[in-house]
Amino acid sequence: MTSDAPTRAYRRLSVEERRSQLLESALTLFAHRAPEEVSLDDVAEAAGVSRPLVYRYFPGGKQQLYEAALRSAADELRGCFAEPPQGPLIERLGRALDRYLSFVGEHDAGFSALLQGGSVVETSRTTAIVDGVRRAAAEHIMRHLDVEEPGPRLLMTVRMWITAVEAASLIWLDQDKRPPLDELRDGLVDHFVAGLAVTAGRDEQTAAVVRSALALETPDGPVASLARRVLPVVADAAHLL
Amino acid sequence: MTSDAPTRAYRRLSVEERRSQLLESALTLFAHRAPEEVSLDDVAEAAGVSRPLVYRYFPGGKQQLYEAALRSAADELRGCFAEPPQGPLIERLGRALDRYLSFVGEHDAGFSALLQGGSVVETSRTTAIVDGVRRAAAEHIMRHLDVEEPGPRLLMTVRMWITAVEAASLIWLDQDKRPPLDELRDGLVDHFVAGLAVTAGRDEQTAAVVRSALALETPDGPVASLARRVLPVVADAAHLL
């Protein structure tokens, strides 16, 4: 209870403004605590309004607020993926990933609770919202790779990488955000390049994508740097060829 | 109702035998249907017993049966990972993965429902069982890589791959088990090699692991075959070095 809470409660807000304000308070709470640890009273207090007012806007209570907050977070995440289709591909991916990881870092506990499963607020609707973000990520990547109809091998490779990014994000949060975001991002970009390269060995569509992507790279770009780091390690395997 | 069901119900089984029988019936049902689509009546009918008898053994009803079946499936999955620590590393991984994917193929709908989340039977306990299997997989891999104390980069790489395998398994089931299991397995093994190689470029511990693993490989093994397939695709990138 802060002394200015009652004052704020009397501010005249339009229905839309009030709804946004409640949603924003809820999102802030759900971002840093497990949904189990957020009550409607917490949301009311954070927004400086009464509990009945929260119910008036969200008659479904906490579940409805959680889903609305999740939808708003999903929209924000989709925004992170937007990137102009110019310049070397892998650098575009790095910038999008940078925004994604910043978002993850800013919504730590909520992100973990959401993706780790087993939460009381998890329903087929929340799962669908999360899947929608994953699908959007895959679509963005395909657009940048200039692939209109991805075959099953390319699609599986991209979707595997997206899941691996989620797993890495959870581990990163669990390790108190170590290594630093930059290093995590660069490592994930490397994994993307490696995953595509490996699938390219079995799939002509992916091979064409890799060739186009490599043609856009420069000697001071991330792929060249990756190659320079990895080649000395695998050089010992020359006996295999 | 089959005509021999009542007869089977009267067979004298020990408590342990009866429990196993009920569990087995439940596991078969949960393997091929979403948990929402399995009722206690289904389990009773499949086991040829009465519904009250099922309740006597599993007073917690469907939730308890589901968790018990999940625990038994998790034990079976852990068994898939066991592999003698001899011979080329990557072939050991291929054999373990082969057993894992066969298990996934035999428990299709249940595996999907479990990992896709949002199910009514999902609780923090079921999540913990699934996480236990993931942890066991990572421990097996570390043991084969001969690493006693994995650093954060190696551990993250292995855990990312395990998650990517799960994602690939779900996509595979969703695509009616295409490509064939062999091709999926080989592709996943390739991804493991590529993931380690990429992390080796940034992490000395992983580099040492990769060098040891490569030393065990032969020119007709999976890593040599991977290198022969990928090198022609990335050869165009010579301008980057």
Q: Report domain extents, chain A.
A: 5-63, 70-236
- A91 token code pair: 């650098």
CA of A7, closest CA in chain B: separation in Å?
Answer: 40
Nearest CA to B219 out of A12, A154, A239 is that of A239
Pick the CATH number of A70-236 from 3.30.870.10, 3.40.50.1000, 3.10.450.50, 1.10.357.10: 1.10.357.10
Interface mutation vs chain B, best among A230, A239, A241, most B CBs within 10 Å: A230
Which residues of chain A have a pLDDT value below 50? 1-6
For residues B53 and B33, what is the distance between their CA atoms, to the nearest angstrom?
22
Spell A159-186 as b/e; 16+ CB within 10 A means b: bbbbbbbbbbbbbbbeeeeebebeebbb
How does pLDDT run along chain B (241 residues), one tens digit per residue?
444 444 455 567 899 999 999 999 999 999 998 888 999 999 999 999 999 999 999 999 999 999 999 999 999 999 999 999 999 999 999 999 999 999 999 999 989 888 876 677 778 888 899 999 999 999 999 999 999 999 999 999 999 999 999 999 999 999 999 999 999 999 999 999 999 999 999 999 999 999 999 999 999 999 999 999 998 888 877 888 7
Do the domains A70-236 and A5-63 match in fold?
no
Q: Do the chains contact at A201 and B190, CB–CB below 8 Å?
A: yes
Listed residue (B232, B231, B214) closest to B223, CA to CA: B214
String of DSSP letters for B84-145: -S-S-HHHHHHHHHHHHHHHHHHTHHHHHHHHH---TT--HHHHHHHHHHHHHHHHHHHHHT
Q: What is the DSSP letter of B147?
A: -
Q: Given A127, A153, A237, which is nearest B118 (Cβ)?
A: A127
Smallest Cα distance from B221 to chain A, Å: 8
Residues of A in contact with B231 (CB under 8 A): 241
Helices (H), chain A: 5-9, 15-32, 40-47, 51-57, 61-81, 89-106, 108-116, 124-144, 152-174, 181-200, 204-215, 222-234
Q: How far is CA A162 from CA A54, A137, A188, A194, B167, in A?
A: 36, 8, 10, 14, 9
* Contact between chains at B163 and A163 (C-beta distance less than 8 A): yes
A197 with B233: Cβ contact below 8 A = yes
Q: Which residues of B touch A218 (CB under 8 A)?
A: 240
Residues 6+ apart with CB under 8 A from A63: A121, A123
Query: How many Cβ contacts (< 8 angstroms) between chains A and B?
Result: 186
Q: In angstroms, rounded to a whole number, what is the distance separating the alpha carbons of residues B43 and B28?
A: 9
pLDDT at B57: 95
Identify the CA nearest to B169 among candidates B144, B203, B137, B147: B137
Domain B70-223 in this protein, CATH class: mainly alpha
Distance of CA A143 to CAs A135, A221, B229, Å?
12, 21, 26
State whether A197 and B159 contact (CB < 8 Å).
no
CATH topology of domain A5-63: Arc Repressor Mutant, subunit A (1.10.10)
Residues of A in contact with B152 (CB under 8 A): 175, 178-179
Taking only Cα atoms into account, the Rg of chain B, rounded to an integer number of angstroms, comes to 22
- Please, are residues A199 and A157 in contact by the beta-carbon 8 Å criterion? yes
Residues sharing a CB contact under 8 Å with residue A167, sequence separation 6 or more, in sequence order: B159, B160, B162, B163, B164
Task: Name the token pair of A82.
Answer: 């937007």
Q: What is the value of ipTM here, to two decimals? A: 0.89
Is there a contact between B134 and B107 (Cβ–Cβ < 8 Å)? no
A224: nearest CA partner in chain B: B240
Angstrom distances, CA of residue B65 to CA of A73, A229, B39, B123, B211:
36, 51, 10, 13, 47
